[in-house]
Amino acid sequence: MPVNIYEAWNQPLKEILIGLTRLSVSELRASHRKNPPKPAAHWDFNVHKIDYVEVERGLPDEDAPAFIEHYAIATPAKGWRRLLDKPLPGR
């Protein structure tokens, strides 16, 4: 089943969470509010301004982990810290 790559930009903390999901952006946002991913466990999903962006759609499962690793390195955001969320169970 194809996988999507997303970014969640936490404006106050200047952190970008990059991850894999099968959910829509709105479903992912709701999922993160209920159960924050480990790399972003310190985020307050109900208070912080967090913008979600879908980066890539429909990657094969087997290609997604390598893609996300290379994507995170190749897309620097000056002054921002990047966090990786690679697990895929239901996300």
Q: Which two tokens stand for residue 19?
A: 């991850």
Helix (H, G, I), strand (E, B) or coil at 12: coil
Answer whether residue 86 shows pLDDT above 80: no
- Are the CB atoms for 91 and 31 separated by under 8 Å? yes
Q: Which two tokens stand for residue 65?
A: 């982990």
Task: Give tens-digit pLDDT for 47-74.
Answer: 999 999 999 999 998 888 888 888 888 8
Task: Give tens-digit pLDDT for 5-25.
Answer: 999 999 999 999 999 999 999
Cβ neighbours around 30 below 10 Å, total: 13
Answer whether residue 90 shows pLDDT above 70: no
pLDDT (0 to 100) of residue 76: 67
Cα-based torsion angle of the residue sequence 88, 53, 69, 16 in order, rounded to the nearest 10 degrees: -100
Q: Would you kindly state where each structural domain of the chain is located, as residue ranges? A: 11-80
pLDDT (0 to 100) of residue 73: 82
